[in-house]
Structure 1
Amino acid sequence: MPIKIAGSEELEKDKDVYYIQPLEGYCAKFKECQFEEGVVNVEGMIMKQQNNLKFFINVCHCVEIPPPLDDYTEDILSEKLDSNMEDVKIPMSVSELHACQTNKNEDALKVDVLINSSFYGSRVADSLFIRQFIIVVACELISEKHKITLDPSESIELKNKKHIGELMIQKVRKTPAEAGIKEIKDEKIILLDDENKGDGVTFDEFEKIVHGKEDLPNVNMYINQATRILKVNITLSEDVTKEEDIMVKMNSDRIVVIVHKKSKAAEMYSRFLMDYNKAKLKFDSTSRLLSISVPVIMPSIPLFGDTFVQSHEDEFMESSDMNFAMLTDVNSQRAIHTIINKSLNERLLLLICDRVCHEEREEIPKVIREFSKDLGIRKTNSLHFHFLLKKEKIPHYNIENFVGNSTMSLLYFIGEKAYPYRGPLDSKKDIYQFLMDREQRNMRKLKTYEDLDLFLSSINNDIDSNFYTLYLNFKNYKKCGPFGINSFENAVKSTDLEVVKPIKMEVEETKEILVIIEMRLSQVKHKQCPTLLLIHKGKYKEIPLIFSPRIIRKFIEYAVDNYYEIEDTWTKIGEPLTYIQLQYLVDEHNIQDLQYNKKFIAAAVIGGFAILLLGFSIFWALNGA
């Protein structure tokens, strides 16, 4: 819808710091560490030196930390190390000390080290030599900041974990005043502030760049991580001199700027859903700069007992989901946008070709329509199709690894997670079977209250090491919105952990089922809405179904890895009811229904009035006599 140019309201001023959510990279383990002063401060508490205390370094990345000024390859780094170390400059940030636990539930310490995302993706991720070099630098920083000595030669890179413990949000100053962001020079570590300002490596804004100048030459888009305000700056042509020359069209994920009512000056897709009705626009005729400021839609939802703001969604995102490498092709941008919007609560088949591939574009949608018809897939949970003519590398969602050197590839997306089809693209039968395998996941179903009661009793112990997702689908879910079913189904289908067993129950609202849920799952908040529980060792946690499948999946994966850290927020399943207890509580429900039955209430009211009228008539009759 068209939006008129607003007044010259100033865009919100930025703050002095970044609040950075690290993206996982790799983890190095040290079997022991030495406290240089005998004690260290861990989360506000003093810890004394302990024998064989393990230490972990989570090497993470983000876009806020600037990349090195030089492009360091293994060969260049080797030459620098052998000749002149003072030329090696890698911006890096070290977090505070945090306590964590090993897989054997042993106490340990860890820090999160931040480097630039582009540098990590292009040089660090695939080079064991550079990864080890980063550990050497990190050990120097940890020694200076926390007074802990680590031996880099004794470090062990973990193969099955990318991080230990929770990756904590780091607060980093834009222009560092402390030893948080530093770089290598001689044997000492110096601040970036001490560097020559002419190098141009500065923290300009408290914002995360979504699209940069390389993407659209006249457009910069930013997301403010504190206020969740999306800002777009567009430089218009010289013939645009006043606000009346400009028209801006917006919806929840797209912005189009039209000048002189005929030519398109810019068109872009947002990585985030926008509350476009609250957009504010400002045009500076001198610089010809159009500024758009619009809130990002992210409601607050209770999760861990406190308020879990959906802006914290980044905590649970995969590293591939947050790859901010620039995409220069509009078709690539549109494909990523489609993946985001169509795979969260539905599913998407993405056909990627390096040529037009007309035949596949025609035949694959036919297979999808046939498959959807056979399985009775409704429009509210559709299986979508999108075609991408690939002109550049796309690092998002692991697409490059799946596509490789293939000229044509087919990917199935669910919950923003990709699954590649490995069969021939001209085989309708194989594509149909691929869809069947992805859509029909093994899911145990409970039918009666006895099934539910028996299930809760069978897992109410410490022996079973599995996690269970229990989805209670109440029949009157229309009162609660349609999101629950899709969220659960997609979350389960995109969770590939063998220890997670999905359970589903179509709840007929009998008194027996309601009593069992009320007595054994007493902390379930909405007993008449679709409810998703994660259960482990006789305890359960309710997961809000208004989260996207990706967030539900990532929470499940997080809970599996960190159960003992969050166990105290879970609720113990109630004890089984005897037959007599069950019947007694069912009878109580029946009595309550009778008490509040509208027909009985109406009859009682009418009867009451009748008795009053009879009493008055008798009184009048006696009084007359």
Structure 2
Amino acid sequence: MLEPDTDETEALMKKLILQSGLQDGVGADPDKKVSWTTVVPKPGFCLKTKKENGEKVFINVCQAENVPQPKDITEEELLKLLESEDPFGFRVPMSIGEPHAEIDKSGQGCIAYDVVIHPGFMEKMKDSEIFKTFFLSVTLEGLEEKYSVALSRDWVILKNRKSVGRLQEQNVRTQSKPVIMEMGDQSTGIGIGKPLIQEMDTPKPLSQEELKARGQKPEFRIIQDPPEGHPDFLVAEISLPHVKMANTLTIDVGEDRLVLETRSNKYYLDIYLPYLLVQEDCVAQFNRKTRILTLTLPVQPEN
């Protein structure tokens, strides 16, 4: 098993909360009003563990470009987030497939699971024991929660095999890109006929290096309605004074993430939200007079 460098780090890992950024893989309901894409995973590495009854379990950690890449943070930033017990601080988008029966090298029956992530994060784990241990802890918790099994943390990464059995194709939900409506000289109208809304805290600003590479971070605010308790929707108002037309904007809306880019790399915004969104119902409007982009983001009901 890969051990964290210190007892303190190991204690932090125990605070992990399952944070799967995608819907489940195989078995997803294609009739729902969401977009799905087929993921054909490529092998990465294979983890061996066991259930409480001693049955062998293999976890094929796979990779596919279709799966979104998590935001890029350092080991120090990850440890700070764990110390702060912030469940929304860092997510690893992944797709967890259905179990499939296989035969191990000794001819005995076993169970294998395929977990698919972005190749970029796969590379990150190669250079960082902290990120690898974080990811594997989250993955085991995810499998336990989804399939009601108890898995040993005394795992081993196979040296000579990248996967056990045939990797299974998976269906995962894609990010939604709302159509941006241009509104001419009309006002946005946000808040009309709605309860009072309150401003929420904004995330940490991008570094100067990130700003230069991705574009300037625009001024924005995020408000919720109703102002107390679990919101029905969020409203993001983003000021883009140097943008003239909506067709120069690209917006990706994930379950809890919003990414805005401009064609000229003038602006770049990448933020995580503290609620899960109803992606297919998100609406974007750009006011050419005020140069403000307004996104109405319905929130999934509280469980």
Give TM-score, length-normalised by structure 2. 0.46
By relative contact order (CA 8 Å, sep 6+), the higher-ranking structure is 2
Give TM-score, length-normalised by structure 1. 0.23
Q: Which has the larger radius of gyration?
A: 1
More helix by share: 1
